[in-house]
Amino acid sequence: MPAAAPVTTATRRDDGRPEASDVDAAIGPRSAGAARGRHRDSTSSGNGPRPCVTTRRECRGRAEGCQGRDRPRIIGRPEGIMARAHRLVPRLAVGLALALLWAAGRAGSAPGGVAPPGSASAGADPRIHLADDLDGVIGPIWQLQRTKRDAVAFVPDPTGAGRRVLAMTLRAGDMAGDGGRTERAELSEANAVHLPTGTPVWYGFSLYLPPDFPIVDRRLVVGQWKQACGDCAADHSPAVANRYRGGVFSITVDNAAGRQTLFQERADIRGRWRHLVYHIRLIPSPDGLLRAWIDGRPVVDYRGALGFADDRDSVYFKLGLYRDSLDVPMTLLVARFRRGTSRAEVDPESPAPSAGGLPAPCGQPLRGGHAADHGRSG
């Protein structure tokens, strides 16, 4: 009888494991050929262990038969692997950030990260506590949101304090938004440390305007608290903002009813450090709260709505320069940033406020506000 033609269809051993043709069919000719090449020395005699290259499902069933260097090698489709990786990486990043936040809240961490200054309230959310001296590295609590890398640099303190501080420089056209109408150089709190709307929190940081800082009658924000946008087309102004316009430093609040200017300082603040402290509960309801001190002096005590009901339940802080487009460079210096649950945590050198030591709650805007400031995002 003539010899039987070789069988070309996939066969299966009596123990249920696939023959080599099954492997070829499962992983494709190129992968199968490469797999056989990697195991040529273990199969050429016909007596060694079979190559253990297979699909993930088949490998689970036959892993016990793999020996030595022929341990299971999982061959998967590249597109499937990439899809799983794209899903896994964000989860790992969020999980790692939350783990770091929790650990730092219990044990502390190095400057530039999440760190309780040491007197956290019992039961306080450890995510609240942040600390960064801004003296040599951009810590993990920040992200450069639409900010050019060369806009930030660490420089010696110009007052001779023997430390390094963060200088942020904004030039014409830097990271322009709104069709070129605005420019920015800002640090923004990283997504992992955003807080839910309505969280009571304290902030403290130092700010320095150089003696030659330009005085221009143009919108300029030098620190702001915002909600993540809901309908981002609305692009609401910050709920709380520090502004410097025409040589006047001011603090404003925004809500659905409009803007109020709660504080103005017309004295020249350039050429010296100012330490600012804020107690904030940002929520678009009458339960909102804003209290502020400058160099230990109380300047704001506001009760009322902060922010917008159509924005998201996520509050964050941005530090730096945001302005209408202008062909004039500006440099702002910042140092010693803190976020915590008490004034002592963010400003240990400031005395506790005495009863009646704050001005009456602000209910009406001060005169002299700039209507043009009511633009988008600032």
pLDDT tens-digit series, residues 146-204: 788 889 999 999 999 999 999 999 999 897 766 778 999 999 999 999 999 999 999 99
| Contact yes or no for 269/207 (Cβ under 8 A) | no
Amino acid identity of 58? E
Q: Give yes or no for a contact between 304 and 288, defined as CB atoms under 8 angstroms apart.
A: yes
How far apart (Å, rounded) are the C-alpha atoms in residues 42 and 44?
Answer: 6
In the chain, the percentage of residues whose pLDDT exceeds 90 is 51
What tens digit of pLDDT does each residue of 119-142 get? 334 445 667 999 999 999 998 999
Q: Of 73, 126, 281, which is closest to residue 197 (Cα–Cα)?
A: 281
Of 258, 262, 132, residue with least CA distance to 190: 132
Predicted pLDDT of residue 82: 62
Domain boundaries, the chain: 20-74, 88-362
In the predicted model, what is the mean pLDDT of residues 229-251? Answer: 90
Instruction: Report d(CA 227, CA 235) in Å as an integer.
Output: 10
Q: pLDDT at residue 42 above 90?
A: no
Let me know: does 249 contact 299? Beta carbons within 8 Å: no
Amino acid at 20: A
pLDDT tens digits along 288-329 = 999 999 999 999 999 999 999 999 999 999 999 999 999 999
pLDDT for the residue 210: 98
Pairing of strands 315-324, 73-74: unpaired
Residue 27 has a pLDDT of: 35
Token representation of residue 265: 């300082």
Band (pLDDT 50/70/90 cuts) for residue 351 is: low
Predicted TM-score (pTM) of this structure? 0.66
**Can you give the C-alpha Rg of the chain in angstroms?**
30
Instruction: Give the model's pLDDT for residue 31.
Output: 39
CA–CA distance, 193 with 319 (Å, rounded to integer)? 15
- Residue 88 corresponds to which tokens in the numbers above? 């896994």
CATH number of 88-362: 2.60.120.200
